[in-house]
A and B are shown apart, each in its own frame.
Chain A
Amino acid sequence: MTLLKLSGVACDRGGRRLFDSLDLVLEAGGAALVTGANGAGKSSLIRLAAGLLPAASGEVERGGRVALADESLALDPKLGLGAALAFWARLDGAEPAPALAAMGLAAIADLPVRMLSTGQRKRAALARVIASGAPLWLLDEPANGLDPDGEARLESAMASHRSAGGAILAASHQPLALPGAVRVAL
């Protein structure tokens, strides 16, 4: 099953062409790793794949629901972490508890979101993606700010997502363990 198909996609930002004629197909279990210098358009490609940014030309097709983790956390700062994740989980018809455990956040589920550290915020954003149950994950710099334990948890979450028939499009300038991933250099 095709979860993401980009055909001949071009992206303009601020009147400047970032990339064009980009083709990418992600099947179930597949993964793609986007690399490139700062400002090359990695985040724009992620937002384009999410449908949050219009393509200047070309077509973007998505095969199902999409989960996005970018630099914005999208969790209510005053709520406890568990309750903030539960808001999205309810919309997705899912349970946040397994995702909290997968990212090692179960012990701080009651901590208000505004108290989280940079690494914990990244883990929380990833837990939101894991809890969504969406087949396609779009991860923008998912390993930024994570400690070695966090990276290991991210890698095992990505592996189990792919073995369960999900696909991942990740943008990163750090090495990321995505075996067999298509490399997209911008």
Chain B
Amino acid sequence: MSGLLLRELRLAATGGSALLPLAFFLLVATLFPFAIGPDAPLLARAGGGALWMAALLAALLPVDRLVEPDRASGVLDQLALRGLSEESVALAKLAGHWLSFGPPLMLAALPAAALIKLPPEVLLRLELGLLAGTPGLAALSLIVAALTSGLRTTGALAGLLMLPLAVPILIFGAGLTGPDGNMGALKLLAAASLLLVAVAAFAAGAAIRAARD
């Protein structure tokens, strides 16, 4: 299990795809004031939601490298031969994916918040929200990656599958950063995220098994 997790982290680090979501997230934060205008109160009010949208799309970026390369190169078959269940493989992938994208995103939220002049208390709620919500986003992208592995038009289909399912995380995450955000939203966000994490290993495991045929 730990060997699998280390391999996932190594793949994320050497593939350059760990930096891609970060760059994307920061780019959105940079572009947002250009689109909305430099009105500081407006930026502060809408900025949290914009950063959540960016986080959501950033989670979608590495979907095509999460499962498909391992399926195509036979790694998933070899793991199954060694008696590792598809669920534990999916769990290792989930942990590896979150570690390579959740904490870096929380770090990137600091300069991003500065770019759109988020007040400190909103930044704190954004960080708490990202801590609670990114595991759910990682779980969703893993499920979608497993479901779409072996298909040709992965990118567009993955977006269509994942974005509607991410609505609860987006609502509670953005709500938490809004002007009347409170800890109730954080609890609901954490609950939605927990549900996705709990389902992910089984759903992705079943999808990996189904893709084998």
Contact = CB atoms under 8 A, between A and B. Distances in A.
Physical interaction between A and B: yes
Interface of A: 50-53, 65-68, 70, 72-78, 87-88, 90-92, 128
Given A87-B3, A91-B82, A92-B82, A74 B77 contact: yes
A52 B80 contact: yes
A66 B73 contact: no
* Main DSSP-derived SS at the B contact region: helix
Interface of B: 3, 7, 11, 14, 72-75, 77-78, 80-83, 212-213
A75 B83 CA distance: 18
B213 to A, nearest CB: 7
Nearest to B80: A52
Contacts of A73: 73-74
Nearest to A74: B74
B80 A78 contact: no
B73 A68 contact: no
Given A53-B213, A87-B3, A90-B3, A72 B81 contact: no
- Most chain A CB within a 10 A radius of its CB, from B7, B11, B14, B82: B82
Contact of B81 (A53, A66, A87): A66
Given A53-B213, A76-B11, A87-B3, A68 B81 contact: yes
A68 B78 contact: yes
